[in-house]
Protein backbone atom coordinates (compact mmCIF):
# COMPACT_ATOMS: atom_id res chain seq x y z
CA UNK A 1 0.00 0.00 0.00
CA UNK A 2 1.27 3.44 -0.95
CA UNK A 3 1.81 5.80 1.95
CA UNK A 4 1.73 9.48 0.97
CA UNK A 5 3.25 12.18 3.14
CA UNK A 6 0.69 14.95 3.49
CA UNK A 7 1.48 18.11 5.46
CA UNK A 8 -0.20 21.37 6.35
CA UNK A 9 1.08 24.58 4.77
CA UNK A 10 0.85 26.07 8.25
CA UNK A 11 3.70 23.76 9.27
CA UNK A 12 6.02 25.90 7.12
CA UNK A 13 5.45 28.91 9.34
CA UNK A 14 8.74 30.13 10.76
CA UNK A 15 10.85 27.67 8.80
CA UNK A 16 13.71 29.16 6.73
CA UNK A 17 12.98 29.19 2.99
CA UNK A 18 15.37 26.78 1.22
CA UNK A 19 17.41 28.55 -1.48
CA UNK A 20 17.16 27.37 -5.08
CA UNK A 21 20.08 25.08 -5.90
CA UNK A 22 21.75 25.45 -9.29
CA UNK A 23 24.37 23.36 -11.03
CA UNK A 24 24.96 26.20 -13.50
CA UNK A 25 23.66 29.49 -12.16
CA UNK A 26 20.40 30.47 -13.85
CA UNK A 27 20.76 27.77 -16.52
CA UNK A 28 20.75 24.21 -15.13
CA UNK A 29 18.91 23.58 -11.83
CA UNK A 30 19.95 20.86 -9.38
CA UNK A 31 17.61 18.16 -8.16
CA UNK A 32 15.72 17.84 -11.44
CA UNK A 33 16.03 16.95 -15.14
CA UNK A 34 17.26 19.23 -17.92
CA UNK A 35 16.66 18.15 -21.52
CA UNK A 36 19.60 19.16 -23.73
CA UNK A 37 18.67 18.92 -27.41
CA UNK A 38 20.56 19.29 -30.64
CA UNK A 39 20.63 17.74 -34.08
CA UNK A 40 23.20 15.04 -34.78
CA UNK A 41 26.64 16.50 -35.39
CA UNK A 42 26.01 19.87 -33.72
CA UNK A 43 28.32 18.97 -30.82
CA UNK A 44 25.97 18.53 -27.87
CA UNK A 45 27.88 15.46 -26.60
CA UNK A 46 31.13 17.42 -26.58
CA UNK A 47 29.52 20.43 -24.90
CA UNK A 48 27.95 18.19 -22.25
CA UNK A 49 31.33 16.54 -21.62
CA UNK A 50 32.86 20.01 -21.23
CA UNK A 51 30.14 20.70 -18.66
CA UNK A 52 31.03 17.52 -16.75
CA UNK A 53 34.72 18.48 -16.76
CA UNK A 54 33.93 22.01 -15.56
CA UNK A 55 31.86 20.66 -12.67
CA UNK A 56 34.60 18.17 -11.73
CA UNK A 57 37.19 20.96 -11.78
CA UNK A 58 34.95 23.47 -10.01
CA UNK A 59 35.40 25.88 -12.91
CA UNK A 60 32.98 27.97 -14.96
CA UNK A 61 31.25 26.60 -18.04
CA UNK A 62 30.71 28.98 -20.96
CA UNK A 63 31.44 31.85 -18.63
CA UNK A 64 28.87 30.77 -16.03
CA UNK A 65 29.76 29.53 -12.55
CA UNK A 66 29.12 25.86 -11.71
CA UNK A 67 28.37 24.34 -8.31
CA UNK A 68 31.39 22.04 -8.55
CA UNK A 69 31.54 18.44 -7.36
CA UNK A 70 31.75 14.93 -8.75
CA UNK A 71 30.31 14.26 -12.19
CA UNK A 72 29.16 11.07 -13.90
CA UNK A 73 29.03 10.98 -17.70
CA UNK A 74 27.22 8.05 -19.35
CA UNK A 75 27.63 7.76 -23.13
CA UNK A 76 25.73 5.26 -25.25
CA UNK A 77 27.10 6.83 -28.44
CA UNK A 78 30.88 7.25 -28.03
CA UNK A 79 33.33 4.45 -27.27
CA UNK A 80 36.20 4.79 -24.79
CA UNK A 81 38.72 5.83 -27.45
CA UNK A 82 36.50 8.71 -28.61
CA UNK A 83 35.92 9.82 -25.02
CA UNK A 84 39.71 9.72 -24.51
CA UNK A 85 40.29 11.96 -27.52
CA UNK A 86 37.69 14.46 -26.36
CA UNK A 87 39.03 14.51 -22.83
CA UNK A 88 42.51 15.19 -24.25
CA UNK A 89 41.20 18.22 -26.19
CA UNK A 90 39.37 19.53 -23.13
CA UNK A 91 42.46 19.09 -20.94
CA UNK A 92 44.55 21.01 -23.44
CA UNK A 93 42.02 23.85 -23.54
CA UNK A 94 41.88 23.98 -19.71
CA UNK A 95 45.68 23.63 -19.41
CA UNK A 96 45.44 20.62 -17.10
CA UNK A 97 46.50 16.97 -17.02
CA UNK A 98 43.86 14.19 -17.07
CA UNK A 99 44.97 13.29 -13.52
CA UNK A 100 43.22 16.47 -12.34
CA UNK A 101 39.86 15.07 -13.47
CA UNK A 102 39.70 12.60 -10.60
CA UNK A 103 36.14 13.73 -9.75
CA UNK A 104 34.85 12.81 -13.24
CA UNK A 105 33.66 9.24 -13.87
CA UNK A 106 33.02 8.04 -17.43
CA UNK A 107 31.06 5.04 -18.66
CA UNK A 108 30.78 4.06 -22.32
CA UNK A 109 27.80 1.90 -23.24
CA UNK A 110 28.57 1.98 -26.97
CA UNK A 111 27.77 -1.44 -28.42
CA UNK A 112 25.98 -2.57 -25.24
CA UNK A 113 22.35 -2.73 -24.16
CA UNK A 114 21.92 0.79 -22.81
CA UNK A 115 18.21 0.76 -21.93
CA UNK A 116 17.38 2.18 -18.52
CA UNK A 117 13.85 0.75 -18.65
CA UNK A 118 11.80 -1.85 -20.49
CA UNK A 119 8.11 -1.96 -21.33
CA UNK A 120 5.90 -4.24 -19.28
CA UNK A 121 4.34 -6.70 -21.70
CA UNK A 122 0.76 -5.86 -22.55
CA UNK A 123 0.61 -2.78 -20.32
CA UNK A 124 2.84 -0.20 -22.03
CA UNK A 125 4.22 0.88 -18.66
CA UNK A 126 7.97 1.09 -18.01
CA UNK A 127 9.95 -0.83 -15.44
CA UNK A 128 13.60 -0.09 -14.49
CA UNK A 129 16.34 -2.35 -15.84
CA UNK A 130 19.32 -3.70 -13.92
CA UNK A 131 21.39 -0.93 -15.57
CA UNK A 132 19.07 1.66 -13.99
CA UNK A 133 19.51 0.05 -10.56
CA UNK A 134 23.29 -0.09 -11.10
CA UNK A 135 23.24 3.62 -11.92
CA UNK A 136 21.13 4.29 -8.81
CA UNK A 137 23.71 2.51 -6.65
CA UNK A 138 26.59 4.39 -8.30
CA UNK A 139 24.90 7.72 -7.61
CA UNK A 140 24.40 6.77 -3.98
CA UNK A 141 28.06 5.78 -3.63
CA UNK A 142 29.59 8.80 -5.42
CA UNK A 143 27.02 11.54 -4.62
CA UNK A 144 27.80 13.50 -7.81
CA UNK A 145 26.57 16.99 -8.51
CA UNK A 146 25.89 16.07 -12.15
CA UNK A 147 24.71 13.06 -14.14
CA UNK A 148 24.89 13.30 -17.95
CA UNK A 149 22.96 10.75 -20.04
CA UNK A 150 23.81 10.57 -23.75
CA UNK A 151 21.36 10.01 -25.47
CA UNK A 152 17.63 9.56 -25.05
CA UNK A 153 17.24 7.41 -28.17
CA UNK A 154 19.62 4.78 -26.74
CA UNK A 155 18.33 4.84 -23.15
CA UNK A 156 14.56 5.01 -23.64
CA UNK A 157 12.76 1.84 -24.84
CA UNK A 158 9.33 3.23 -25.67
CA UNK A 159 7.65 5.41 -28.25
CA UNK A 160 8.97 8.98 -28.05
CA UNK A 161 5.55 10.17 -29.26
CA UNK A 162 3.79 8.48 -26.34
CA UNK A 163 3.09 11.19 -23.77
CA UNK A 164 2.47 8.80 -20.86
CA UNK A 165 5.74 6.93 -21.44
CA UNK A 166 7.67 10.19 -21.86
CA UNK A 167 6.36 11.51 -18.55
CA UNK A 168 7.05 8.22 -16.76
CA UNK A 169 10.63 8.04 -18.03
CA UNK A 170 11.35 11.64 -17.03
CA UNK A 171 9.76 10.83 -13.67
CA UNK A 172 12.20 7.95 -13.19
CA UNK A 173 15.16 10.23 -13.92
CA UNK A 174 13.77 12.98 -11.71
CA UNK A 175 13.53 10.43 -8.91
CA UNK A 176 17.28 9.87 -9.28
CA UNK A 177 17.90 13.62 -9.20
CA UNK A 178 15.81 14.11 -6.06
CA UNK A 179 17.13 11.08 -4.16
CA UNK A 180 20.76 11.92 -4.84
CA UNK A 181 20.58 15.72 -4.94
CA UNK A 182 22.10 16.05 -8.40
CA UNK A 183 21.30 17.64 -11.73
CA UNK A 184 20.40 15.16 -14.47
CA UNK A 185 21.17 16.37 -18.00
CA UNK A 186 19.64 14.14 -20.67
CA UNK A 187 20.76 14.62 -24.27
CA UNK A 188 18.26 14.16 -27.11
CA UNK A 189 17.83 14.63 -30.84
CA UNK A 190 14.96 16.85 -32.00
CA UNK A 191 12.10 15.44 -34.04
CA UNK A 192 11.81 16.47 -37.69
CA UNK A 193 9.13 19.01 -36.80
CA UNK A 194 11.23 20.28 -33.89
CA UNK A 195 14.21 20.66 -36.21
CA UNK A 196 12.28 22.46 -38.94
CA UNK A 197 10.50 24.82 -36.53
CA UNK A 198 13.65 25.61 -34.56
CA UNK A 199 11.92 24.64 -31.30
CA UNK A 200 14.22 21.64 -30.80
CA UNK A 201 11.42 19.51 -29.34
CA UNK A 202 11.57 15.72 -29.67
CA UNK A 203 8.54 13.50 -30.07
CA UNK A 204 5.62 14.08 -27.71
CA UNK A 205 5.05 17.37 -25.91
CA UNK A 206 5.35 15.21 -22.78
CA UNK A 207 9.14 15.57 -22.91
CA UNK A 208 9.09 19.36 -22.90
CA UNK A 209 6.26 19.52 -20.36
CA UNK A 210 7.86 17.06 -17.92
CA UNK A 211 11.34 18.56 -17.62
CA UNK A 212 11.97 21.72 -15.61
CA UNK A 213 14.47 23.20 -18.08
CA UNK A 214 15.40 22.64 -21.71
CA UNK A 215 18.44 23.77 -23.68
CA UNK A 216 18.92 23.57 -27.44
CA UNK A 217 22.20 23.70 -29.37
CA UNK A 218 21.99 24.57 -33.05
CA UNK A 219 23.97 25.73 -36.02
CA UNK A 220 23.49 29.27 -37.27
CA UNK A 221 21.76 29.20 -40.64
CA UNK A 222 20.04 31.80 -42.77
CA UNK A 223 17.58 30.46 -45.33
CA UNK A 224 19.39 27.11 -45.18
CA UNK A 225 22.83 28.70 -45.69
CA UNK A 226 25.45 28.22 -42.99
CA UNK A 227 28.01 31.01 -43.33
CA UNK A 228 30.23 29.79 -40.47
CA UNK A 229 30.37 26.03 -39.91
CA UNK A 230 32.19 26.44 -36.58
CA UNK A 231 29.56 28.73 -35.04
CA UNK A 232 26.80 27.50 -32.75
CA UNK A 233 24.24 29.04 -30.41
CA UNK A 234 22.97 27.54 -27.15
CA UNK A 235 19.41 28.65 -26.41
CA UNK A 236 17.34 28.42 -23.23
CA UNK A 237 14.01 27.07 -24.54
CA UNK A 238 12.37 26.37 -21.18
CA UNK A 239 13.22 27.44 -17.64
CA UNK A 240 10.68 26.93 -14.87
CA UNK A 241 12.98 28.61 -12.35
CA UNK A 242 14.53 31.37 -14.45
CA UNK A 243 14.21 33.45 -17.63
CA UNK A 244 13.81 31.88 -21.06
CA UNK A 245 15.09 33.18 -24.37
CA UNK A 246 18.72 33.45 -23.33
CA UNK A 247 21.41 32.73 -25.92
CA UNK A 248 25.12 31.92 -25.68
CA UNK A 249 27.13 32.25 -28.88
CA UNK A 250 29.76 29.51 -29.26
CA UNK A 251 32.61 28.69 -31.58
CA UNK A 252 34.31 25.36 -32.10
CA UNK A 253 38.08 25.73 -31.97
CA UNK A 254 40.90 23.32 -31.18
CA UNK A 255 38.49 20.51 -30.40
CA UNK A 256 36.24 22.35 -27.89
CA UNK A 257 33.49 24.95 -27.80
CA UNK A 258 34.37 28.44 -26.58
CA UNK A 259 31.82 31.07 -25.59
CA UNK A 260 31.98 34.24 -27.66
CA UNK A 261 31.75 37.69 -26.12
CA UNK A 262 28.21 39.03 -26.29
CA UNK A 263 27.21 42.57 -27.05
CA UNK A 264 26.32 44.30 -23.80
CA UNK A 265 24.83 47.60 -22.71
CA UNK A 266 25.53 50.39 -25.14
CA UNK A 267 26.96 48.00 -27.75
CA UNK A 268 23.67 46.09 -27.91
CA UNK A 269 21.64 49.31 -28.06
CA UNK A 270 23.91 50.57 -30.84
CA UNK A 271 23.52 47.35 -32.86
CA UNK A 272 19.73 47.48 -32.47
CA UNK A 273 19.63 51.12 -33.56
CA UNK A 274 21.78 50.33 -36.57
CA UNK A 275 19.44 47.54 -37.68
CA UNK A 276 16.45 49.88 -37.42
CA UNK A 277 18.23 52.59 -39.37
CA UNK A 278 19.22 50.14 -42.13
CA UNK A 279 15.70 48.70 -42.26
CA UNK A 280 14.15 52.14 -42.80
CA UNK A 281 16.85 53.15 -45.27
CA UNK A 282 16.27 50.09 -47.44
CA UNK A 283 12.49 50.33 -47.09
CA UNK A 284 12.64 53.88 -48.45
CA UNK A 285 15.01 52.88 -51.26
CA UNK A 286 12.99 49.91 -52.46
CA UNK A 287 9.67 51.73 -52.12
CA UNK A 288 11.02 54.57 -54.29
CA UNK A 289 11.85 51.95 -56.93
CA UNK A 290 8.32 50.54 -56.76
CA UNK A 291 9.58 47.31 -55.15
CA UNK A 292 7.28 46.38 -52.29
CA UNK A 293 8.29 44.20 -49.36
CA UNK A 294 6.15 42.17 -47.00
CA UNK A 295 6.01 41.51 -43.25
CA UNK A 296 5.10 37.84 -43.89
CA UNK A 297 7.60 35.11 -44.83
CA UNK A 298 7.72 34.61 -48.58
CA UNK A 299 9.53 35.85 -51.71
CA UNK A 300 9.17 39.52 -50.69
CA UNK A 301 9.84 39.07 -46.94
CA UNK A 302 11.48 42.33 -45.86
CA UNK A 303 14.18 40.98 -43.48
CA UNK A 304 15.35 38.47 -46.09
CA UNK A 305 15.26 41.00 -48.93
CA UNK A 306 17.14 43.61 -46.91
CA UNK A 307 19.78 41.20 -45.52
CA UNK A 308 20.81 40.24 -49.06
CA UNK A 309 20.92 43.85 -50.26
CA UNK A 310 24.38 45.35 -51.00
CA UNK A 311 23.55 48.24 -48.64
CA UNK A 312 22.65 45.99 -45.67
CA UNK A 313 25.83 47.10 -43.82
CA UNK A 314 26.33 43.60 -42.45
CA UNK A 315 22.92 43.38 -40.74
CA UNK A 316 21.58 39.82 -40.62
CA UNK A 317 18.05 38.68 -41.33
CA UNK A 318 17.60 37.97 -37.62
CA UNK A 319 18.68 41.50 -36.67
CA UNK A 320 16.45 43.05 -39.32
CA UNK A 321 13.50 40.92 -38.19
CA UNK A 322 14.00 42.31 -34.68
CA UNK A 323 14.20 45.83 -36.09
CA UNK A 324 10.98 45.31 -38.04
CA UNK A 325 9.15 44.09 -34.94
CA UNK A 326 10.31 47.10 -32.93
CA UNK A 327 9.34 49.55 -35.67
CA UNK A 328 5.88 47.99 -35.91
CA UNK A 329 5.64 48.13 -32.13
CA UNK A 330 6.37 51.85 -32.13
CA UNK A 331 3.91 52.35 -35.02
CA UNK A 332 6.63 53.81 -37.23
CA UNK A 333 5.78 51.37 -40.02
CA UNK A 334 2.42 49.87 -41.00
CA UNK A 335 0.95 47.29 -43.36
CA UNK A 336 -0.53 49.07 -46.38
CA UNK A 337 -2.04 47.78 -49.61
CA UNK A 338 -1.40 48.37 -53.28
CA UNK A 339 -3.40 47.28 -56.29
CA UNK A 340 -7.17 46.80 -56.44
CA UNK A 341 -9.63 43.95 -56.45
CA UNK A 342 -8.14 40.49 -56.83
CA UNK A 343 -4.76 42.07 -57.49
CA UNK A 344 -4.62 43.86 -54.14
CA UNK A 345 -1.50 43.02 -52.16
CA UNK A 346 -0.14 44.07 -48.76
CA UNK A 347 3.24 45.71 -48.19
CA UNK A 348 5.20 47.54 -45.49
CA UNK A 349 5.17 51.33 -45.58
CA UNK A 350 6.22 54.17 -43.34
CA UNK A 351 3.31 55.53 -41.35
CA UNK A 352 1.93 58.58 -43.14
CA UNK A 353 3.55 57.65 -46.44
CA UNK A 354 1.09 54.95 -47.50
- Condensed to tens digits (0 to 9), the pLDDT of residues 276-321 reads 999 999 999 999 999 999 999 899 999 999 999 999 998 888 889 9
Given 230, 259, 288, the domain boundary residue is 259
Residue 227 has pLDDT above 80, yes or no: no
Q: Is there a single domain that holds both residue 128 and residue 273? A: no
Q: Is there a single domain that holds both residue 226 and residue 81? A: yes
Q: Is there a single domain that holds both residue 155 and residue 252? A: yes
SS (H, E, C) the chain: CCCCCCCCHHHHCCCCCCCCCEEECCCEECCCEEEEEECCCCCHHHHHHHHHHHHHHCCCECCECECCCCEEEEECCCCHHHHHHHHHHHHHHHCCCHHHCCCEEEEECCCCCCCCEEECCCCCCEEECHHHHHHHHHHHHHCCCEEEEECHHHHCCCCCCCHHHHHHHHHHHHHHHHHHCCEEEEEECCCHHHHHHCCCCCCCHHHHHHCCEEEEEEECCECCECCCCCEEEEEEEEECCCCCCCEEEEEEECCEEEECCCCCHHHHHHHHHHHHHHHHHHHHHHHHCCCCCECCCCCCEHHHHHHCCCCCCCCCHHHHHHHHHHHHHCCCEEEEEECCHHHCEEEEEECCCC
Given 216, 234, 259, the domain boundary residue is 259
At residue 199, the pLDDT reads: 63
Q: Is there a single domain that holds both residue 227 and residue 332? A: no
Q: Is there a single domain that holds both residue 271 and residue 250? A: no
Q: Is there a single domain that holds both residue 235 and residue 164? A: yes
pLDDT in tens, 105-122: 999 999 999 999 998 876
Q: Is there a single domain that holds both residue 89 and residue 140? A: yes
Residue 266 has pLDDT above 60, yes or no: no
Determine the structural domain holding residue 275 and report its residue range.
265-350
pTM score of the predicted model:
0.76
Q: Is there a single domain that holds both residue 82 and residue 170? A: yes
At residue 5, the pLDDT reads: 87
At residue 190, the pLDDT reads: 84
Averaged over 236-255, what is the pLDDT?
Answer: 88
At residue 269, the pLDDT reads: 66
Averaged over 122-131, what is the pLDDT?
Answer: 88
Q: Is there a single domain that holds both residue 245 and residue 304? A: no
Q: Is there a single domain that holds both residue 270 and residue 140? A: no
Amino acid sequence: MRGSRFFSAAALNGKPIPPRQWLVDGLIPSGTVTLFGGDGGTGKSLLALQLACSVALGRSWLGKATAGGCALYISAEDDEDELHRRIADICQSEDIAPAELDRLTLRSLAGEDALLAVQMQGKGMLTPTELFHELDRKLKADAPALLVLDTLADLFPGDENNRAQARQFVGMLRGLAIRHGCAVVMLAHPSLSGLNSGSGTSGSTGWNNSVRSRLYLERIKDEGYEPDTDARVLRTMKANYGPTGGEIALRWQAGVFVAQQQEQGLDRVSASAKAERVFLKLLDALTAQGRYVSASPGPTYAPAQFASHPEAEGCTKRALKGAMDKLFGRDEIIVATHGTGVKARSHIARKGAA
